[in-house]
A and B are shown apart, each in its own frame.
Chain A
Amino acid sequence: MANLVAQAYKSEVKPTWCPGCGDFGVLAALYPALARLELDPAKTMIVSGIGCSSRLPFFVKTYGFQTAHGRVLPVAMGVKIANPDLTVIAVGGDGDGFSIGGGHLVHAVRRNPDITYVVMDNQIYGLTKGQTSPTSPLGIKTKSTPFGSADTPINPMAWVLASGVSFAARGFSGNPKLLTDLIVAAIQHPGFAFVQTMSPCPTFNNTYDQWRGKVDSLPADHDPGDRLQAMAQALREDAIPLGVFYRQVRPTLESHTRVTDHPARGGAAAGFDVRGLLESYR
């Protein structure tokens, strides 16, 4: 699949996002990442949940599966265990991943499947037209919180680090070049790779200017092998640091739990003689 250009991954389906949506930047960063890794579209699957950002699989010419709201990670793990040779990329939003699907995140993190998970975080529910999300700032006035949100937001980066994630990075849709590098590193990482992507919603929570002013590189001496340093960076409130926070290599889920007898390969799954097993019940 040499010499694949980014354009080759673009499907005929036109994105449904609002003009100026941060998710365009994420998509623009994803195509060249797939091209740089020369991923075969027939051996790649992008899995998503429900939400604006979860529409992404339709716009890419790989296998795709838009599942149900919040269920992207368990579905993606099923795909990966069943078919470990596939490159599996999970995508979704902050509501999908941290609210309705939040219970699955920590379990995906601890099992460490070789899956890249790109969360497009806009700190709002966009598809349902503007309600507070688990990453919305305290006090935010939205359609569902007309007097201001009383809930302290989740810090996704600190959360996954505390749960023992093996790769964690943060990008910004306003910086697609860096985001491409981060997605490439995430896909190359042998294990669960979490990429928080700050991706503003210009329609319901326009944070472009605010975030442009706050994004920053991780310090030049940041050591991604040091979880405490990563946590300190995750907890910063003065800036939104971008880059690879943490990286650690440990055994993956599918290194011990995987299907090798895949029916498409022929083999016993296509005709296992059960009589021997039944004999043991005499």
Chain B
Amino acid sequence: MPVDRLLLRMGGESGTDNVISAGDVLTLSVARSGYHVHTFRTYPAEIKGGPVMFQLRVGVQPLPSLGDQLDVLVAFNQEAWDLQHADLRPEGTLIYDPAMQEVPDGLKGAAYGVPLDGLARDLNLRKGKNLIGLGALSALFGFDFNQLQATVKEKFGTRPEFAESNRMALLAGFEWVRKNITGDIPLRLVPPHPREGSALVMSGNQAIVAAALAAGCRFFAGYPITPASDIMEELAKRLPKMGGAVFQTEDEIAAISAVVGASIGGVRAMTATSGPGFSLMQEMLGLATMAEVPLVVVDAQRAGPSTGMPTKMEQSDLNIALYGAHGDAPRIVLAPRSVEDCFYQTMHAFSLAETYQMPVILLSDQSLSHRTETLTMPNPDLVPVAYRQRPSGDAEKYRRYALTENGISPMGVPGFDPTPFTATGLEHDETGEPNYTPAMHTAQMDKRGVKFERVAELLCELESPLGCQACGVPEETAEVGVLAWGSTAGAAREAVEELAAEGYPVAALIPAVINPLPASRVRYFAHNLKAILVPEVNRSGQFAAWVKAYTELPLISLNKYGGLPFTPGEIRAKVRGLLDEVTHG
């Protein structure tokens, strides 16, 4: 049966079956063939051993989310079947290795036993099982074999000995299926729509790196932490060649401190971390607010509290991002909604940080960090590259913290501007000298507050790609609304777009700027709705509480907190229930 999209998952043993590397190369290969992709992966926190899975959603249309039930499960071992089969559609297809597992009872769909281990032994390959599997998948579902071969060669090594054994492994799987599996294959992907050039395939973290470089970031300090480390690793390869620097510090406090130092030294600077590291950074974020130092912090959220589940996703750091440091310390919080949005929001973060001289927090999460998606070439010119306003005129009259109408005061760059000043975390007067008078504290609090309120005014009306994303039926005719944030956007969009296409009065609004919240835009979205659902991956409904605080809207929370992202089906089911209530209620 020809299908226009396919959801396929491979499960195996970490460090043995090389499921992730096989998944990545298959993903790139089908994307090069012209399909859209959206991947998802889970892996143990341990390095060797433990179950690992890679999920590829591939189709001829854009795929905003990871999808729902699996069409195909490839089980490299018994454990993969045991752990994953509940997610397989009843009529879904199983591919397994007869040497590694029993044929499960009661399968409604097709099951193909491919001797992955046996073929690898025949070829005398210790680690070729994953490629044999890819060859088999290519033959079964119609993934372009030549493209797969070329991609494997490019990614897994062009040295003759690797290239030859990899080619043999792919071919062995491919030919075994051709020879031994006859008759109708239940699912076959229709050919992709022709398009100009192939799409990009990137992860959220890769998009953040590219955007940081585009925004002029030339300093990164960090401390290794899952799932943010690969931002540092990627920048460590690139920045030194571009006149920049990557500084691995002794802890996250030192990382954010070095970022504050680099920024006051005049360089656009960033760090990236996850929950435990972000907790450690709070005091220095307060200093950056007080001393008005531009910087960007990426928090790739993972399941907490405490060490939590380092390799699982959650959207539970919103509260600390909003309220983390002591004192009345405004900071901007952005939440990218897709891989492409990681690019735009990272550029946006630098632009806002530099313009308003304050910290900007980018709230990504584990699923967004490491999932890959196809995207068309982003347009970096959509976000102007900004740099802090610098002093001009009479250096003698320069005052670093001058009380200006919009709260922004020129920031001298040491070594370049003849305007020395001393920055401080103490309350200070316009020159920077410590000052604890009620009048000056009030005035400087207002300066920092007014700056922030300007951001709110500026961003409130901003629409996609930098501002609010809206989808579904026109808001005026919608009865049930979905208000989502961060990486839940994909599942929310897919659920709402499907329901709207089926004629249901459903719309979604997904802001990217979380603080300051575009409250008037949210109120407008809500004004005609009978019910508003807020799906988020945390238990306490942090975003719902934040929106309520701004808008006093009655919101209905849908919370999931098992370490996995929402699927569109979960949101769809809840919205259907709400539709029934509001129409029959």
> Given contacts A68-B283, A79-B265, is CB(A270)–CB(B213) below 8 Å?
no
CA distance A193 to B563 in the complex (A): 48
A37 within 8 A of B: no
**A68/B425 in contact, CB under 8 A:** yes
B86 within 8 A of A: no
CA distance A62 to B179 in the complex (A): 79
B543 within 8 A of A: no
B259 within 8 A of A: yes
Q: Mark B348-381, 1 if CB is under 8 A from A, else 0.
A: 0000000000000000000000000000011010
**B420/A271 in contact, CB under 8 A:** no
**A83/B414 in contact, CB under 8 A:** yes
> Given contacts A78-B261, A257-B246, is CB(A274)–CB(B380) below 8 Å?
yes
A260 within 8 A of B: yes
> Given contacts A66-B425, A67-B257, A79-B262, is CB(A278)–CB(B414) below 8 Å?
no
- Partner of A77 from the list B199, B216, B261, B291 (CB cut-off 8 Å) is B261
Q: Mark A260-282, 1 if CB is under 8 A from B, else 0.
A: 11111101111111110110011
The chain B residue with its CB closest to the CB of A62 is B420
A211 within 8 A of B: no
Report chain B residues within 8 Å CB of A75: 257-258, 260-261, 264
A57 within 8 A of B: yes
Report chain A residues within 8 Å CB of B144: none
> Given contacts A67-B260, A257-B245, A281-B201, is CB(A78)–CB(B265) below 8 Å?
yes
- Report B229-271 residues with CB < 8 Å from chain A CB: 238, 240, 242-247, 249-251, 253-255, 257-269
A64 within 8 A of B: yes
**B32/A282 in contact, CB under 8 A:** yes
**A259/B244 in contact, CB under 8 A:** yes
> Given contacts A107-B254, A261-B244, is CB(A278)–CB(B423) below 8 Å?
no
**B219/A267 in contact, CB under 8 A:** no
- Partner of B216 from the list A55, A85, A257, A269 (CB cut-off 8 Å) is A269
Q: What's the A-B contact tally at a CB cutoff of 8 Å? A: 211
Main secondary structure of the interface of B (DSSP, over half): mixed
The chain B residue with its CB closest to the CB of A75 is B261
**A81/B243 in contact, CB under 8 A:** no
Shortest distance from the beta carbon of A53 to any chain B beta carbon, whole Å: 14
- Partner of B214 from the list A81, A263, A274 (CB cut-off 8 Å) is A274
- Report A82-107 residues with CB < 8 Å from chain B CB: 82-83, 85-86, 103-104, 107
CA distance A258 to B262 in the complex (A): 10
B583 within 8 A of A: no
- Report A50-68 residues with CB < 8 Å from chain B CB: 50, 55, 57-58, 61-68
**A63/B199 in contact, CB under 8 A:** no
CA distance A131 to B389 in the complex (A): 43
- Partner of A262 from the list B201, B250, B267, B283 (CB cut-off 8 Å) is B267
A74 within 8 A of B: yes
**A282/B414 in contact, CB under 8 A:** no
**B422/A58 in contact, CB under 8 A:** yes
**A42/B284 in contact, CB under 8 A:** no
Report chain B residues within 8 Å CB of A143: none
> Given contacts A269-B218, A282-B198, is CB(A71)–CB(B257) below 8 Å?
yes
**B261/A74 in contact, CB under 8 A:** yes
B415 within 8 A of A: yes
CA distance A66 to B400 in the complex (A): 14
Report chain A residues within 8 Å CB of B413: 264
- Report B386-434 residues with CB < 8 Å from chain A CB: 387, 390, 412-426, 432-434
A47 within 8 A of B: yes
**A103/B210 in contact, CB under 8 A:** no
Report chain A residues within 8 Å CB of B415: 42-43, 83, 85-86, 264
CA distance A159 to B261 in the complex (A): 25
A45 within 8 A of B: yes
Centre residue among A61, A78, A262 by max chain B CB count within 10 A: A78
- Partner of B213 from the list A50, A67, A274 (CB cut-off 8 Å) is A274
- Report A125-139 residues with CB < 8 Å from chain B CB: none
- Partner of B265 from the list A13, A64, A68, A82 (CB cut-off 8 Å) is A82
Query: What is the number of residues of chain B that contact chain A, defined by CB distance less than 8 Å?
Result: 72
Report chain B residues within 8 Å CB of A264: 266, 390, 413, 415-417
Report chain B residues within 8 Å CB of A44: 414, 420
**B266/A263 in contact, CB under 8 A:** yes
B316 within 8 A of A: no
CA distance A60 to B452 in the complex (A): 32
B506 within 8 A of A: no
Report chain B residues within 8 Å CB of A79: 261-262, 264-265, 414
The chain A residue with its CB closest to the CB of B423 is A65
A76 within 8 A of B: yes
Report chain A residues within 8 Å CB of B250: 103-104, 107
CA distance A83 to B218 in the complex (A): 11
A153 within 8 A of B: no
Q: Mark B262-301, 1 if CB is under 8 A from A, else 0.
A: 1111111100000000000001101100010000000000
CA distance A83 to B433 in the complex (A): 24
A202 within 8 A of B: no
A176 within 8 A of B: no
Q: Mark B212-229, 1 if CB is under 8 A from A, else 0.
A: 011010110100000000
A41 within 8 A of B: yes
- Partner of B245 from the list A41, A64, A82 (CB cut-off 8 Å) is A82
**A272/B422 in contact, CB under 8 A:** no
Report chain B residues within 8 Å CB of A265: 416
**B247/A78 in contact, CB under 8 A:** yes
**B247/A277 in contact, CB under 8 A:** no
CA distance A94 to B151 in the complex (A): 59
The chain A residue with its CB closest to the CB of B249 is A74
Closest 7 CB pairs of A and B: A78-B261, A261-B243, A64-B422, A82-B265, A78-B258, A74-B257, A274-B214
7 cross-chain CB contacts under 8 A: A75-B264, A78-B260, A261-B242, A261-B244, A264-B416, A265-B416, A275-B377
A residues with CB within 8 A of B: 13, 41-47, 50, 55, 57-58, 61-68, 71, 74-83, 85-86, 103-104, 107, 257-265, 267-275, 277-278, 281-282
B residues with CB within 8 A of A: 32, 197-202, 206, 210-211, 213-214, 216, 218-219, 221, 238, 240, 242-247, 249-251, 253-255, 257-269, 283-284, 286-287, 291, 377-378, 380, 385, 387, 390, 412-426, 432-434
Kindly list 19 other residue pairs between chains A and B, CB separation below 8 angstroms, not including A43-B415, A264-B415.
Answer: A13-B433, A42-B419, A65-B422, A67-B260, A68-B284, A78-B263, A79-B265, A82-B245, A82-B263, A107-B254, A258-B245, A259-B219, A259-B245, A261-B243, A262-B243, A269-B267, A272-B213, A274-B214, A278-B377
